[in-house]
A and B are shown apart, each in its own frame.
Chain A
Amino acid sequence: MNKDILLEIKNLHASVGEKEILKGVDLTIRRGEVHAVMGPNGAGKSTLGAVLAGRPDFTVTAGSICYAGQDLLALCPEERSWAGLFLSFQYPVEIPGVSITNFMKSAISARRKAQGLPELTPGEFLKLLKEKMAFVQMKGEFAKREVNVGFSGGEKKRNEIFQMAMLEPTLSILDETDSGLDVDALRIVAEGVNRLRTPETAAIVITHYQRLLEYIVPDVVHVLKDGRIVETGGRELVDRIEREGYESIHE
C-alpha cells in the first residue's frame, strides 16, 4: 500500500431506501491533494459526501472505504470526525438553543478526550475560538448566536469553514460550499480552505459549477454521473465542462 494514500474507495455502492444512488465508485486520494467532484444534479455527489461522513440514512450495499489505513465504514460519524474527517454541509442544520460556543466546546472536548488529550482550559478554548473566528472574518457576537439560526446563506457556509478551521481535519469534504454565496463570501470561504491546505491533508470539493474551482484549484477533477465516476482528469476537464456541459462526457 502506498503510504501517501489517505483515502481509497473501491466499488462503492450506496442506497437510500430501495433506490441505489452510488453504483460502483472508485476513488483514490493522496495526502496533499485537492480533488474536485463535479457532475449534474442527481448524479450522487452529495451522497458520496454523506456516505463518507457516515450519514445513517444511506446504506452501503457493496464496496469498501479505506481511510488512513482504517476501515472507514466500521466507524460511527463521531469516530470519523475524531479520525480527522470533516464534511461541510450543503445545507447546514439549524440547532435552536445551542450556541456556537457550546457546540464547539462539546466538539473539541469530545475529540480531545477520544485522543487522550487533556481538556483545554477556558482561556485556551476562548483563544482558539477567537483565532478561528478571525480566520473567516466573523465578529465577536457570532460565538453567542444559536447554531445557524437566522444565518444568511453566506454566514452558514462561513460557519462551516469556521468549524473546519476549529477541527483542523485531515480530509475535508466540501459539499456544494459555493451554492448560495456571493463573490465576497465565496472568496472568504475559498481563502479559508486554501489556508488549511497542507502536505498532510487532502480535500474533496463537490460542486456543480466551475466557479469555486477558480478559487480552490484542484489537482484532480472527477465527473460523477448516474452514480459512477465517468471521467477523471486535470484542471482542463473543468474548462471542458464549462464549454460543453456534462452532456458531452460519457463513459
Chain B
Amino acid sequence: MNSEVYVIGRDSVPQYLRLEAGEERTLTLIVPPGNGGRLVLEADLVGPGASLDLAGLYLCPGDERLDLRLLVRHTVGGCVSRQLFKGLVGGTARASFDGLVYVAQDAQKTQAYQENHTILLSETARVESRPQLEIYADDVQCSHGATTGYLNPEELFYLRSRGIPEAEARRLQMVAFLAPVLRRLPEPLIEEIHACLS
C-alpha cells in the first residue's frame, strides 16, 4: 500500500479525498513547529471496501495558533476509516482539533475509529479537542477518544533515576508518545522531528 506523507508548510497538502470502491489510502500529516492557521481535510468514502488510514502529528512549542479540522464521511457501507492524531503543545501555543466522523444511514458495517491525544508542555499552552461521531446506521463499529495531559512524572523520575538528564528524559518521553505516528515516516523525517524535540 502506498503511504503518503505531507509536511505542512513544505508540501502541497490535499484538502479533499474521495475514495472509490476498494481504494486504500494511507496518509500522514506533519505539522512542524512554527505552523499555525487552519488546516482542513475532508474525505468521502463512496465505494464499498474503501479504506482510509489517516494519522498526523502537530508540534506547537511556541506561540502557534493551530486549527485542525477533519471530516470523514462514510456514505456507503463496508468501509474503514482510522484517524490517529498526536500533538505536543507548549509555550503559549493554542491548538484545536475538530474531528467529525459521519456515518450515513445506509453505511452499515462501517468501521470508523478516531483518536486525538495531546501532551501539554507548559502551563500556558492550551488545547481544545472535539472528536465527534455522527452515526445514522445501526450496525457499525465506531469509537473515538481524546486525551490531554502532561508528561508522566513517574516515567520522568524513573528515567532520571537511571542517570538520564531531565531534558533528555523529556525528549525520550516525547518520542515515545509520538512513536505510533513516527513509525509511519521515512527515516530522514523521523530524524528531523527528533531534532525539533530537543
Residue numbers of A with Cβ under 8 A of B are 53-57, 76-78, 80-82, 86-87, 89, 92-93, 95-98, 102-104, 106-108, 110-111, 114, 163, 167
Which residues of A lie under 8 Å from residue B158 when comparing CB positions? Answer: 89, 92-93, 95
Taking CB atoms, residues of chain A closer than 8 Å to B164 are 78, 103, 106-107, 110
Chain B interface size, under 10 / 10 to 19 / 20 to 34 / 35 or more: 20 to 34
Q: Do B157 and A56 touch across chains, with their CB atoms under 8 A apart?
A: yes
User: Which residues on B sit within 8 Å (CB–CB) of A57?
Assistant: 153
CB within 8 Å of A: which B142-188 residues: 152-155, 157-166, 168-169, 172-173, 175-180
Cβ distance B184 to chain A, nearest Cβ, rounded Å: 14
How far, in whole Å, are A87 and B162 apart by their CA atoms in the complex? 8
Give A157 to B175 CA distance when docked, in angstroms. Answer: 25
Given contacts A77-B157, A78-B160, A93-B158, contact A106 B172 (CB under 8 A): yes
Most chain-A Cβ atoms within 10 A of its Cβ — which of B165, B178, B180? B165
Min CB distance B100 to A, Å, is: 28
A163 surroundings in chain B (CB, below 8 A): 162
B153, B157, B168 pick with most chain A CB within 10 angstroms: B157
Q: How far is the CB of B141 from chain A (nearest CB, A)?
A: 24
A111 and B175 in contact, given A77-B157, A106-B168 (Cβ under 8 angstroms) = no
Complex-state Cα separation, A78 to B175, whole angstroms: 20
When the two chains form their complex, are residues A77 and B177 in contact, meaning their CB atoms are under 8 A apart? no
**Given the contacts A77-B157, A93-B154, A107 and B162 also touching, CB distance less than 8 Å:** yes
- Are A96 and B161 in contact, with the CB atoms below 8 A? no
19 CB contacts below 8 A, A to B, read: A53-B157, A53-B161, A55-B157, A56-B153, A57-B153, A76-B166, A77-B161, A78-B163, A81-B162, A87-B161, A89-B158, A96-B176, A97-B179, A103-B164, A106-B164, A106-B168, A107-B163, A110-B168, A167-B163
**CB closest residue in chain A, given B154:** A93
Say whether A77 contacts B160, CB under 8 Å: yes
The 10 closest A-B pairs by CB, nearest first: A97-B176, A97-B179, A81-B163, A77-B160, A93-B158, A107-B162, A111-B163, A78-B160, A107-B163, A98-B176
A98 touches B166 (CB 8 A): no
- Asked if residues B165 and A78 are in contact (CB atoms below 8 Å), the reply is yes
By beta carbon, the residue of chain A nearest B157 is A55
Specify which chain B residues have a CB less than 8 angstroms from the CB of A86 in the assembled complex: 161
Chain B residues with Cβ under 8 A from A80's Cβ?
A: 161
**Closest residue on chain A to residue B183 by CB atoms:** A97
Closest-by-CB residue of A relative to B177 is A97
- Give the distance to chain A from B2, nearest Cβ to Cβ, in Å: 26
Q: For the complex formed, measure the closest distance between the CB of B35 and the CB atoms of chain A, giving whole angstroms.
A: 24
| Interchain nearest-CB distance for A173 vs B (Å) | 10
Interface contact A98-B172, CB-CB below 8 Å: yes
A residues less than 8 Å from B155 (CB atoms): 93, 95
Q: What CA separation (Å) do A89 and B175 show in the bound complex?
A: 23
Q: How many Å lie between the Cα of A110 and that of B162 in the bound state?
A: 9
CA distance A92 to B159 in the complex (A): 11
What CA separation (Å) do A102 and B179 show in the bound complex? 13
CB-nearest residue of chain B to A114: B163
CA distance A96 to B176 in the complex (A): 6
Q: Which residue of B lies closest to A148 (CB)?
A: B158
Min CB distance, A190 to chain B, in Å?
22
B-chain residues with CB within 8 Å of residue A78 when the two chains form the complex: 160-161, 163-166, 169
